[in-house]
Amino acid sequence: MDAGESAVTCVDFWANGFGMRARIALRELGVAFEYVEEDLRVGVRSDLVRRMNPVHRSVPILIHRGRPVCGSLNILEYIDEVWSAPGETRRLLPGDPAGRADARFWADFVDHKVFPTQTRFLKSKGEEKDVAKEELVEQLKLLEEVLGDKGYFSGEEFGFLDIVLIPFSSMFRGYEQHGGFDLEVECPNLMRWVKRCKERESVGAVLPDETKMYQLHKEWYGIE
C-alpha cells in the first residue's frame, strides 16, 4: 500500500453497499485513490483491516495520509470537508444547516431502517418475510416522497443522500425477484432517480452487476 503523504486508499469489498458510497464520493470529487479489496466471503479480516479499524473490523476504510477514517457516513463527511474546494458550491452535503440536518436524518433512516429491513426480508421466510417485504416497500415509498419531483434528493445537484441510497439500488432487481413485485409500479419516481444516478460516471463505475449482487446475497443468506 502506498502510504505517501497525500495517498488515498479505500479498503472495501466489491459488493459492500456501505463502501460503494465512499468510492462514488471520491469519483464525484475527482479524488484519485488506490482500491484494496477485502474479500468479506473470507471469515478472517486482513491485517490491514484489523490495524486500521480495530474497533469494528469493518469496511469501508478510507486511509488518507496514513490515517484511517471509518464508517461510511463519516467517510462521506470527511471527503466533503477535505476535497470540496473552499468556497465551491459543489459540496456533497447541502449548503444550508436545515438541508444538512435533513440529509443526515434520512441517511440515518437508510442505515437504521432500510438496511435492517432489507436483511430481514432476504433472510426470513413465510409470514416474517411478507411483513418485511411490506415494510421495505413502504420505506422505499417514503423515500420516494422525500425525493418528490426533484432531480436528486437535495435538489438538482447529486449529493450526500443520493450517494447514501444509490448503492441499495443494486439489489432492487434482487428485491423484485425475491418478493415478486415490480418497483417500477410501486415507486416509479424513485426508479427514474435510479436511472438518472446510474448515468453518472461515478455511479456507473461503482455499482456492481445486479445479477451478481443477488446471487451473492442468495449464497450469503441461504436463499433457495
Ligand X SMILES: N[C@@H](CCC(=O)N[C@@H](CS)C(=O)NCC(=O)O)C(=O)O
Contact 182, 176 (CB under 8 A): yes
9 binds ligand X (CB under 6 A): no
110 binds ligand X (CB under 6 A): no
Span from 54-62, 170-178, 184-192, 197-205 in contact with ligand X (CB under 6 A): 54-62
Q: For residue 133, which amino acid is it?
A: K
Span from 65-73, 77-85, 132-140, 167-175 in contact with ligand X (CB under 6 A): 65-73
Q: For residue 200, which amino acid is it?
A: R
Write down how long the chain is: 224
**C-alpha cell, 124:** 426470513
Beta bridge partners of 10: 35, 62
Our CB check for ligand X shows the closer of 15 and 191 to be 15
Among 9, 11, 14, 18, binds ligand X (CB under 6 A): 18
Among 59, 147, 164, 194, binds ligand X (CB under 6 A): 59
**C-alpha cell, 65:** 495520509
The site string for ligand X over 22-41 (x = CB under 6 A, - otherwise) reads ------------------x-
Q: What phi and psi values does residue 70 have, to the nearest 5 degrees?
A: -120, 155
- Distance between CA atoms of 184 and 140, rounded to whole angstroms? 12
User: What does the binding site for ligand X look like in residue numbers (CB under 6 A)?
Assistant: 16, 18, 40, 45, 57-60, 71-73
